[in-house]
Structure 1
């Protein structure tokens, strides 16, 4: 156990002992939970489920108070994920699935290092592609329901989620982070090269890109998404092919509406912060990170420095980097809505020694190439 985890466990235990007698009707914690329910529009199937969720919420409050008492560079809060256990959260929101070392398939366009020019660009002390109008608004992939009703693990799903899954009438969200990270990078280079910022379609990737690791609701990988955009001759707009948050049938007519195209993609030199800085100096870059810790689930602001490992389970997009008070950071666009983190973004510590950078951010990174 890391020293941060050990300190956090001790702090959380102290907070839990102090709060056990303060959870009844009319207690501050109960009232806070009721306000949280209203704020996030949460409903539960019955009183038993509500009480179970309150118990989880209470344990997460203990974690929040313990974490924030440690004086770290990031903060956590009872955000919209606060009634989920960490295991539930990881199952519902993290869906990066690597190709397993496959070489690019026929027609795929992974450019070799001497074909790319971005990494030769000298990085400056600060880059923020939002200020250059190359980043669309933060989108929301929603959550995933990948577990069949008969699964032994389905008991943790909210009753209303199970019902919606069975009926497939609600726009259930999916493990589509791979599509969002790829699309954000394509949107960025398209703006840089054409001068037009056009929101593009994640749903087209979810519905139509089923080769390699990309399997819609079952997760995917952003370089396979780049390859699809290249092979298809482009990607449709979000307005024309809007996000539904569910697997659907590929629309062949919309598949032929190619608004933004790329020549291919380029992998950033692995395990190198300078290489990632050079790439981000040229355009937004898709990266893989380990986002599975409770401190990431409930992140609300500051420079995130973990705890985290290098089990890459989430695709995001680095849209810049900077520093504040001697603390260097990456500016990372997430796909969990603007009500998570810093208006949908997370600043992640830059200048980290050891393999992978913070949460493995330098292990796998790639960007689309457009002439």
Structure 2
């Protein structure tokens, strides 16, 4: 009887200690990420809900990091967001594709690319002067616009030798193609076609981002507002890492579509290799800006649009050559007009 009593006491003590540690971790998280929930509103329901979401994420992070994985997870500003809120960070809508993208070396004018372009052991545009700083789409499913704009900014800069920052908001407001729906998703190649048709992309300073769809305010006749025009664009052959490397070397960053699953939101470091994202529909637009090898694992350097406080300064390393999360299914490049 005495042994049973002691066991019950120990269980209670452990439970109290666990709750105390969880509360301390929650408070530390709120302080670090400037989360302020008013505990006096609705009887503290918002606070309790957010805390539970955080603790559920905490359990998943600890379980994952205790195993033998090629990547690590950690808390970030998204750790207390609900699934519905996280879905607002996605937004690719795949349009009907009439034909499969062909190999670059099979296209007119590119037959000698494989011989002419030397594929380096690694390539990383993250610190290139033509790559604008990582942006934040916020709670708007406009990733498609960001994945269209970053490669265009880079291409224009290569032509003029001057950095340029272009407007995603113009696409959110003005691109009314059937697949492009402002904060409700779209597709990067369709966005490039739109920019060709309307005369170009406005400079961000003259058409700033608001993270919501507004009335179109683009003036195609105002040349001073145009930051870049699209000369051409095309897809790279699907599921061909070598072709992607050739395109990255020749044209710069590539727009791609990927499949985001739960672990992606908490990515912290290492080479991402979650099998849960394979074989599913794409739902997020990002940009591949390079490749490399870490601990004998080939990876792509992928630029996200959730700010610099996510991942590795806004980037993620994704396993290369295995079409991880469909990253190698829809790669595309754009060429800016001179």
TM-score, scaled to structure 2 = 0.85
Shift of 1:269: 0.4
Q: Which residue of 2 aligns with 1:130?
A: 126
Match for residue 75 of structure 1 among 59, 72, 81 = 72
SS in 2 for 1:66: helix
Taking the aligned partners of 1:20 and 1:320, their CA distance within structure 2 comes to 47
My pick for the range that moved more, 242-251 or 44-53, is 44-53
Q: Which residue of 2 aligns with 1:16?
A: none
Taking the aligned partners of 2:304 and 2:17, their CA distance within structure 1 comes to 35
Taking the aligned partners of 1:118 and 1:20, their CA distance within structure 2 comes to 67
Matched, 1:339 2:305: no
CA contact (8 A) 1:235 1:255 kept: no
Q: Which residue of 2 aligns with 1:217?
A: 183
CA contact (8 A) 1:113 1:266 kept: no
Taking the aligned partners of 1:195 and 1:284, their CA distance within structure 2 comes to 16
Q: What whole-Å deviation, never above 9, does each CA across 1:308-345 have from its counterpart, x for those lacking one?
A: 22421000000111112312111111000000000000
Structure 1: any 5+ residue segments left out of the alignment? 1-18, 104-111, 144-173
CA contact (8 A) 1:330 1:349 kept: yes
Taking the aligned partners of 2:271 and 2:314, their CA distance within structure 1 comes to 14
Matched, 1:49 2:46: yes
CA contact (8 A) 1:89 1:297 kept: no
My pick for the range that moved more, 42-51 or 91-100, is 42-51
Taking the aligned partners of 1:241 and 1:321, their CA distance within structure 2 comes to 32
Shift of 1:209: 0.9
Q: Which residue of 2 aligns with 1:297?
A: 265
Question: Cα gap change, 1:89/1:218 in structure 2, threshold over 3 Å: closer, same or farther?
Answer: same
Taking the aligned partners of 2:126 and 2:61, their CA distance within structure 1 comes to 30
Shift of 1:240: 1.1
CA contact (8 A) 1:271 1:363 kept: yes
- What's the Cα RMSD here? 2.3
Shift of 1:100: 3.0
Matched, 1:229 2:229: no
Q: Which residue of 1 aligns with 2:254?
A: 285
Q: What whole-Å deviation, never above 9, does each CA across 1:121-178 have from its counterpart, x for those lacking one?
A: 33211111234322111000012xxxxxxxxxxxxxxxxxxxxxxxxxxxxxx10000
- Write out aligned runs for 1:235-314 (5 A): 235-253=201-219, 256=222, 257-282=225-250, 283-291=252-260, 293-307=261-275, 308-310=277-279, 311-314=281-284
Taking the aligned partners of 1:132 and 1:52, their CA distance within structure 2 comes to 42
Q: Which residue of 2 aligns with 1:193?
A: 159
- Write out aligned runs for 1:99-138 (5 A): 99-101=95-97, 113-114=107-108, 120=114, 121-138=117-134
Shift of 1:272: 1.1
Match for residue 141 of structure 1 among 137, 143, 152 = 137
Question: Cα gap change, 1:313/1:118 in structure 2, threshold over 3 Å: closer, same or farther?
Answer: farther
My pick for the range that moved more, 119-128 or 65-74, is 119-128
TM-score, scaled to structure 1 = 0.78
SS in 1 for 2:49: helix
Taking the aligned partners of 1:189 and 1:366, their CA distance within structure 2 comes to 13
Q: Which residue of 2 aligns with 1:11?
A: none
Question: Cα gap change, 1:20/1:230 in structure 2, threshold over 3 Å: closer, same or farther?
Answer: farther
Q: Which residue of 2 aligns with 1:33?
A: 26
The number of residue pairs the alignment matches comes to 308
SS in 2 for 1:52: helix
Shift of 1:21: 5.0
Taking the aligned partners of 1:118 and 1:183, their CA distance within structure 2 comes to 28
Match for residue 84 of structure 1 among 81, 100, 114 = 81
Q: Which residue of 2 aligns with 1:154?
A: none
My pick for the range that moved more, 268-277 or 115-124, is 115-124
Question: Cα gap change, 1:243/1:116 in structure 2, threshold over 3 Å: closer, same or farther?
Answer: farther
CA contact (8 A) 1:22 1:28 kept: yes
Taking the aligned partners of 1:21 and 1:82, their CA distance within structure 2 comes to 23
SS in 1 for 2:299: strand
